[in-house]
Structure 1
């Protein structure tokens, strides 16, 4: 058992959260590159999360992420403005590659990252032993959905925050806030994941490259777009037909879970529709539950997405902070967010399911 700090909880002696205990929620935004990091900070993010240009993070797309020099510059930019940078080290290395993840932890400490976001216990253990002052956040990839799971990570690795998977109802989030030994972060906007994060097998089934180990749901080397004479397009992943699109139909980056499939003679989105999570209407309830941070998904998205979504959530959070009793959902906020949603559609996802 290690000794852990309760500084993140002030003087509450690490007691479980009390229903109705409100905090000033932190806004955590994506940074797929240095311009996106700067856009997020300028638009009002309290913190950004970023990754190195390798498979240590779960958005290992070509042309994305940070070199060592770029991350140093990004950290300096954020710290000069009183903001934070978290390093995503949220994939699962096999035993032959652990040294690369350990090296990334060393760099996070050396460069001055404010925290790492990790799921693999060996990575968390290394950070705990070698860099105890470096804060450790349990990644959504850790799939911690129960209070005992959160307690284990807190007691064993001294985590100071945990990111909850996007499979929980609002009632489940509220109960976890009551019993969690650490502050909790939830996804507020962006792409959904139908799996309990960290356990997806779909992409590895089709391509042989696990998203949990290699950092990409659909590796670009396996993606093939085909243009047809009638203007339609189709997309294949490792020669498996994932979807077909009409000429004017928007098409996002192809993943197996959001493809259309023939099921009993009917072709439809059998697993998940290409829509974005949007919890803006739940903001007061999440605040009252004691959620510590709201996370925006989208490190693979561009600067325009990052800036616009961050500004919208900043406005909503600031209005709630200043006048929680009179806070109301503004149509302009929703209109702005819908422009950046997958398929221009948004959903509350599992948050609104009636069973829990």
Structure 2
């Protein structure tokens, strides 16, 4: 399976390449990508230099242009597609139907991938994107089980890419408006989910309160680890009890089920984390490279790997999420 790794900066891209990535994905420094954070992403010159570096080492580069164009400002997104193709990226990752049509018509030879932001999670939707726009690969939302992925791969004739490590979004990507409701900014339109400028913490006696804008997301006891206040990971009160939707805040880690994902027909494994530093990128990519190489040689892919990754996980815990759907 192809190892697709994140890069928020040229330094992180080099770290991913040197750690064993097959592909590095990144975005331009503007609202056209869903990780539009200050200090991250690439200028046109930086992307061109990074593509040259990656190709020299046999590594592909994908450009994420996966937010939804704003009415009257479509030229920004069109230019991102045009520039990415001119620079020579190996695929452009898109979500918006109009932008997919533009890319197909303007650059018929470009390889197009469907972003998870499009939230295509069934056979009919994926076939539509393949038929109408020539999409070659779909990044599947983090809500499908292993058996559902296996069934899709038997029927669709399109490559599938699944998330392997990092943030565990429990919503259907591309349809979440919670962040926009609370802060006025969302990943779909602005490239930011729960932006840091709206985050603050308050000490109340023996508890810590995490807030996003005007909303309390969680209240932690003195014996609990304090997490980042993402709306869908907040603790909810219902029928006199407080709890999380599915699991306590945790990180996705599929090292335990890599052979099962391969058997289900998955083409590529996507590591999440373009906002992470190069040390994190080196450690995670290196661990997955070693694990995949061990499996390819007939060994146990988990040996010595999971402990290293758990230390990088939210709450120092991990989950296989919907793949095994232990919370259903």
TM-score by length of 2: 0.93
Gaps of 5+ in 1: 1-24
Determine the structure 2 residue equivalent to 1:156: 132
Determine the structure 1 residue equivalent to 2:216: 241
- SS of corresponding position for 1:298: coil
72, 86, 101: which is aligned to 2:62? Answer: 86
Alignment RMSD (CA, Å): 2.0
- SS of corresponding position for 2:112: strand
- SS of corresponding position for 2:113: strand
Determine the structure 2 residue equivalent to 1:122: 98
Q: Which moved more, 1:41-50 or 1:86-95?
A: 86-95
* Aligned ranges 1:1-356 → 2 under 5 Å: 25-226=1-202, 228=203, 233-245=208-220, 250-270=225-245, 273-323=248-298, 327-353=299-325
| 1:216 CA displacement | 0.8
Gaps of 5+ in 2: none
C-alpha separation in 1, matches of 2:54 and 2:212: 38
| 1:272 CA displacement | 5.0
Q: 1:299-344 CA distances to partner (integer Å, 9 max, x unpaired)?
A: 1112121111101110111122232xxx324341110111111111
C-alpha separation in 2, matches of 1:272 and 1:101: 36
- SS of corresponding position for 1:213: coil
- SS of corresponding position for 2:73: helix
| 1:222 CA displacement | 2.0
Q: Does the 8 Å contact 1:224/1:239 carry over to 2?
A: no
Determine the structure 2 residue equivalent to 1:22: none
C-alpha separation in 1, matches of 2:50 and 2:228: 27
Tell me: CA distance 1:289–1:265, structure 2 relative to 1, closer, same or farther (3 Å): closer
Tell me: CA distance 1:252–1:103, structure 2 relative to 1, closer, same or farther (3 Å): farther
Q: Which moved more, 1:199-208 or 1:230-239?
A: 230-239
Q: Does the 8 Å contact 1:61/1:220 carry over to 2?
A: no
| 1:241 CA displacement | 1.6
C-alpha separation in 2, matches of 1:28 and 1:329: 18
C-alpha separation in 2, matches of 1:231 and 1:37: 42
Q: 1:16-50 CA distances to partner (integer Å, 9 max, x unpaired)?
A: xxxxxxxxx10000101111111111000000110
Determine the structure 2 residue equivalent to 1:15: none
- SS of corresponding position for 2:61: strand
Tell me: CA distance 1:342–1:355, structure 2 relative to 1, closer, same or farther (3 Å): closer
Q: Between Structure 1 and Structure 2, how many residues are aligned?
A: 328
C-alpha separation in 1, matches of 2:181 and 2:24: 32
TM-score by length of 1: 0.86
C-alpha separation in 2, matches of 1:150 and 1:102: 23
| 1:96 CA displacement | 1.7
Q: Does the 8 Å contact 1:150/1:181 carry over to 2?
A: no
| 1:201 CA displacement | 1.8
